[in-house]
Chain A
Amino acid sequence: DSGVTQTPKHLITATGQRVTLRCSPRSGDLSVYWYQQSLDQGLQFLIQYYNGEERAKGNILERFSAQQFPDLHSELNLSSLELGDSALYFCASSARTWDRTGELFFGEGSRLTVL
């Protein structure tokens, strides 16, 4: 158990809809990362937050947004969903400061299926 909790584990929705994925980092970790894992693209970095502030952005679509709350949990919002958004979404947390990469602790992921 990595200590990172993601909900929901599975989610099935229709095109055009909006969903929210939730992540609770390990106790004390200030950095939260979101990754998208699809069969043909591997693990794609989406966005990083540190103590409530956005610190790095990867290949995140404009239809996607994220935030980190004062209690350090994070949410990834996916809107106007398309079939191609079907993927496994991972949250990870790290004990390092925002500018130093250390071990990432991954949750078990949220599997999104868009029909």
Chain B
Amino acid sequence: GENVEQHPSTLSVQEGDSAVIKCTYSDSASNYFPWYKQELGKGPQLIIDIRSNVGEKKDQRIAVTLNKTAKHFSLHITETQPEDSAVYFCAASRYGGSQGNLIFGKGTKLSVKP
């Protein structure tokens, strides 16, 4: 089955700096890669996703890149703000077929210091 590795487990940056979180996956059939943000005391919430026919996707200060050959994808947050502090999870799954469930990485705790 799919296995997703996420690094680093913790990340501390100064406000205004960029943050990068990296994930690798094992199942070459995976073609859907979302990122979820979990704030303290809340459930995870989707912030951006990418499908395998796209190499990069941006949404304001957030971008995700995908390298299918190397089986890794990354989340980039620019101009970080204190409200970006949260735990971020990457995930992978097959979009279609009988394996519709997402497999998550173990999470990255991002701290943005004012």
Interface residues on A, range: 20 to 34
Q: Count of chain B residues with Cβ under 8 Å from any Cβ of A?
A: 27
Q: Footprint of A on B, CB under 8 Å?
A: 6, 32, 34, 36, 41-46, 49, 89, 93-107
**9 interchain residue pairs of minimum CB distance:** A106-B43, A42-B106, A43-B104, A56-B101, A101-B93, A101-B100, A103-B46, A45-B101, A106-B44
Please determine whether A48 and B100 come into contact, CB atoms closer than 8 angstroms: yes
Best-buried of A35, A45, A48 by chain B (most CB within 10 Å): A45
Please determine whether A2 and B43 come into contact, CB atoms closer than 8 angstroms: yes
Residues of chain A within 8 A of B94, CB atoms compared: 101
Q: Tell me the bound Cα distance from A41 to B96 in angstroms.
A: 26
Residues of chain B within 8 A of A92, CB atoms compared: 43
Please determine whether A107 and B43 come into contact, CB atoms closer than 8 angstroms: yes
Please determine whether B95 and A101 come into contact, CB atoms closer than 8 angstroms: yes
